[in-house]
Amino acid sequence: MATTADAVIIGGGVTGSSLAYHLATAGLQVMLLEKTHLCAGGTGKSTAIVRMHYENEPETRLAWASFQTYAHFPDVIGGNCGFVRCGVLWLVDHDNTEKLKANVTMHQRIGVNTQVVNSQEVRAIEPACSLEGVALGAYEPDSGYADPLLTTFAFARKAEALGARLQEGVTVTGVVTTGSRVSGVRTDQGAIEAPIVINAAGCWATQLGRMVGLDIPIVVQRNQIASLRQPRELLRRHCVVADIGVGMYFRPEESLATVVGAGLGENGVDPDAYNEAVDADFPPFARGKASQRAPAFAQAVSHGGWSGIYDMTPDGKAILGQAGPDGFYVACGLSGTGFKKAPAIGQCLTELILQGRSTTADITPFRLSRFAEGQPIRGQHEYGEGGHFWQSQK
């Protein structure tokens, strides 16, 4: 007898596990397939920052909807996602002050608890910060960071409790179509019949797209993260700080450590064979960047770091929705900022599948066809090249 399911999800990161949970909650018989193990791809290397500061409304709305889950995770999902409410501080130079004000106004209209703060208020919020080059900041006191593995495992555990089947060590070798719609998948362990197949495979999503004739424009990018032990002048849980002018962000870690992301990523790496460590020159580079904003980090001791991979799209925004044959959906191309949106993505795709449209947030702007249509997602008030460093975190 053939294995059957109402929906097959391909990919065991935080997006796939969120989808499994939301679809199972809606009553579908769900099967999630992961070729290695949960969190083996981009999710496991995420710095898992939870913030809502974006330069465009569609992403802000997804992040805002997801924040409701992270802020109340034990009550909404059950279990622990490791969410720490330490505040997020976004800093800009004089060239970007009007853009920041306009973006904060948009965030506030959506409902985000955020405010514009002057340089002196920045110092009061985060005393470690130097004010050199800082014109204004945007402060989200309720935001912070979570644990990517705890979050994924909690979604997966609750999905299984609702009847979902999670299969690790299973490779999808083909997507089966009957006429104009999908009818299942082939794997290295047999076929599965299902009228819904969701490609949530992250850096492997392009390969799966080809199985149904889709060209999913993803470039695999390696990004490095440095880990620093905090110097004796700090030794506390500080804010998450993102600095447009310096081109760097840092967030606290447990055991009085800080992780730092800086610089541009390395494009075109093989997601199955890339350097998961950091280059020898990256920790001192990242420490130097962090100390430009918080001078105390000049005395921080390096603890190495790690590298993760990110599924980058041409506009740096996610690809979400139905594409290709009927019943085939995509939730990929998160471009380094997917963790904070994963709860809402799972909910929105579930709404789209069951109701024909998403109501938690409008995901139409994220459609795959936007690239062919010449309609990439752009913000009205983008910070420009200096903001690209932020793509190095999930």
What would the pLDDT profile of 361-385 be if each residue is shown by its tens digit? 999 999 999 999 999 999 999 996 5
List, for the chain, all residue ranges whose pLDDT scores fall below the cut of 50.
Answer: 386, 391-394
Q: How far apart are CA 117 and CA 136, in angstroms?
A: 6
CA 82 to chain centre: 16
CA 157 to chain centre: 20
Q: What is the pLDDT of residue 386?
A: 47
Q: Residue 187 belongs to what H/E stretch?
A: strand 181-187
User: Is 207 exposed, middle or buried (CB count within 10 Å of its CB: 0-12, 13-18, 19+)?
Assistant: middle
DSSP 153-184: HHHHHHHHHTT-EEEES--EEEEEEETTEEEE
CA 113 to chain centre: 20
67, two tokens: 């924040």
Q: How far apart are CA 228 and CA 225, in angstroms?
A: 10
Q: What is the pLDDT of residue 160?
A: 98
Q: How far apart are CA 358 and CA 360, in angstroms?
A: 6
Tell me the backbone φ, ψ of residue 376, rounded to 5 degrees.
Answer: -60, 160
Cβ count near 98 (within 10 Å): 12
Q: What is the pLDDT of residue 2?
A: 77
217-239: b (≥16 Cβ within 10 Å) or e: ebbbbbbbbbbbbbbeebeebbb
Q: Which domains does the chain have, with CATH numbers?
A: 3-46+149-217+315-370 (3.50.50.60), 85-143+219-312 (3.30.9.10)
Query: What is the model's pTM?
Result: 0.96
What would the pLDDT profile of 253-295 be if each residue is shown by its tens digit? 988 999 999 999 999 999 999 999 999 999 999 999 999 999 9
Is the Cβ–Cβ distance between 15 and 331 less than 8 Å?
A: yes
The single-letter DSSP state of residue 374 is T
Q: Residue 257 belongs to what H/E stretch?
A: strand 257-262
Q: How far apart are CA 84 and CA 86, in angstroms?
A: 6
Q: Quick one: residue 67, left, alpha or beta (phi over 0 = left, psi -120 to 50 = alpha)?
A: alpha
